[in-house]
Structure 1
């Protein structure tokens, strides 16, 4: 199998940034399950990227403390992303079966606490329970990094191996019930979503697609891994805690040539570490390119540009039809020139003339230009109003030098 370096550390690092881009507005909307999905996926991408960089062409145990943290994160993330997907499907089901269009702050807070207990509690519990069947500290794989170890005993299946499948099955049940409830209550469902500020119909269905895609990704991988554990490895009898954890602090190392020689095992390792990157890219495709995301990108760009002393263009430009109250007729593809806004100079009134009443030879005749756009002659009063605006918010024209 070919070495995927440097593609693998590059893609996880890019995915780490991309998946966190929509986090601020989802936090503001209190979408707890979606936020947990982003955070856990970002942690998984960063963890895999660091491992692939530190142990590229190396099997030296140069960071034992990091490996202890990394392996615990790997164990937790294996169920954390499915748990976050379960939170999303559960919330979608609650919305689809809600009988009232009003949700109080106390109800939102309670729902957020339940989501946190699922999205944080289950991974934390899995990290603890996996330690029961952890044979030794960790393994080091060249080009992969440090990975957790689990003794293949009957106790390992209920404590560790089957958790992703069970969570995905519950999540799939919620997904089916959500679609069933939606088909029954379409009109009431649309009315409920229109009364909420944090969720639109478009975002609702993108959440369904995200959670469903995660199920289709997780179930085949975890099921095949479970099948390999049952068929390709001997299942050892559970004797005791001391027997399972005998010589616990040993660290096994596997050079790339050794683990790559087994094509099935190498494929599982590669698919397992690329799966979290794929989850991040899929999430960004659903939410990082949506309409609300583009609005936030523009707002962030304008904020940064103003901090740097730049003057970014505004999205809301006043056209002549809104400025002068005239109906726009038969205008296609015509854009009026932009003029800067300027307040009236108080010194002009003292000199006896207005800064808007005199023009240089290079000034555009706005009345003629507007006549061409509207397709019909303007009245004398309209031409006068355009040439000689009476408000400080009028368009700016060049002033004759005295």
Structure 2
């Protein structure tokens, strides 16, 4: 059957529209965080945008069920599967950086007006390690336990391949849940310190030269908390299902994993079904936009852009900056209402914040039996396979 005659899957259209929308929603939050030189937040949004872009592109390329006419994805999938490895590790890493900084802000034993050079270097090293170094190392280690080149799933697109041995879990699969647990520990530390110092919270922030109010601190905290509440159970479930599927582990053999048929490309038609990873990416993008794309700072940025486009001539109200009393302000006020009564905010002192979202992605393709003579193999339809730049004045975090 000719590819032009193959019917387009409805889920391909939905997945493309959703992923593209998620990508576009992240543009304004990324601009804001880059302008504030918030490394962890910028990396969080950047990884999310890359995931959205890949899933939107994949939905266009592999949008139908005619497997025989599919493109083999050479080049694109080779890069994409490695970036998937980096993303599923870097997203929890950005959360860890956020909670670590929030916990450090609330550490009254170490509160200083200006961070020392050693503190700045330590924080920069922490962010670079969790945002870049560990993901890059995992990308390289993936080759050790990569039994074939990659897989291609209908609509979802490129998928990683893993050898079902203990080596895969030690080198790649184990990173996301461990980092999520570390982030969860620091999340608990932040909660404990907020409760402990609830009556002194504003004084603590004000004594460190912060430039944003407690409302923004709370917004950052709630975003990160929502992310960790979603990511930690998800990563635990993914890790558990992968372990169960691989048991009993077979012995690792370099010769077997990197045999003569390693260059095989496994293609699977999922019958108009989409894996869970694109929806996680889209959901994360929406959360980022709600928390940062509709903030007073972002709305002011939109106003300035509209004025530069000349719309101020027809809408004179755009020429006058407005206080943050819009829908966004009311929206976050509702979100923080319960926490405000708990922590008893007593003043609106200044604080600059940092933020990120997590989510973590892991796509595992079952190790199908392969023909040693074919580089491109078609499989019959199967079920769905399952910190900121620096704390300036002690707290230069996400906005």
TM-score, normalised to structure 1, is: 0.69
Cross-structure match for 2:238: 225
The offset of 1:310, in angstroms, is 9.0
**Conservation of the 8 A alpha-carbon contact between 1:40 and 1:77:** yes
CA 1:316–1:18 in 2, change beyond 3 Å: closer, same or farther?
closer
Q: Is 1:34 the equivalent of 2:41?
A: yes
**Which of these two proteins has the greater Rg computed from alpha carbons?**
1
Q: 2:12 aligns with which of 1, 5, 11?
A: 5
Which segment drifts farther, 190-199 or 144-153? 190-199
Cross-structure match for 2:336: none
CA distance in 1 between counterparts of 2:25 and 2:86 reads: 22
**Conservation of the 8 A alpha-carbon contact between 2:167 and 2:252:** no
TM-score, normalised to structure 2, is: 0.70
SS of 1:17's equivalent? helix
The offset of 1:243, in angstroms, is 1.5
**Structure 2 unaligned regions, length at least 5:** 1-8, 323-399
Cross-structure match for 2:392: none
TM alignment of 1:18-57, pairs within 5 A: 18-57=25-64
**Conservation of the 8 A alpha-carbon contact between 2:149 and 2:265:** yes
**Larger RCO (CA within 8 A; separation ≥ 6):** 2
CA distance in 1 between counterparts of 2:211 and 2:40 reads: 13
Measured on the aligned residues, the alpha-carbon RMSD in Å equals 2.7
Cross-structure match for 2:279: 274
The offset of 1:212, in angstroms, is 1.6
Q: 2:182 aligns with which of 170, 180, 192?
A: 170
CA distance in 2 between counterparts of 1:26 and 1:198 reads: 16
TM alignment of 1:81-230, pairs within 5 A: 81-98=91-108, 99-100=110-111, 102-104=113-115, 106=117, 107-108=119-120, 110-194=122-206, 196=209, 199-230=212-243
SS of 2:292's equivalent? helix
**Conservation of the 8 A alpha-carbon contact between 1:80 and 1:120:** yes
CA distance in 2 between counterparts of 1:15 and 1:216 reads: 21
**Conservation of the 8 A alpha-carbon contact between 2:180 and 2:232:** yes
CA distance in 1 between counterparts of 2:124 and 2:212 reads: 15
CA 1:296–1:78 in 2, change beyond 3 Å: closer, same or farther?
same
CA distance in 2 between counterparts of 1:217 and 1:301 reads: 36
Q: 1:300 aligns with which of 282, 305, 322?
A: 305
**Structure 1 unaligned regions, length at least 5:** 261-265, 318-402
CA distance in 2 between counterparts of 1:217 and 1:209 reads: 12
The offset of 1:306, in angstroms, is 7.4
Number of residue pairs aligned between Structure 1 and Structure 2:
307
CA distance in 2 between counterparts of 1:157 and 1:110 reads: 29
The offset of 1:232, in angstroms, is 3.4
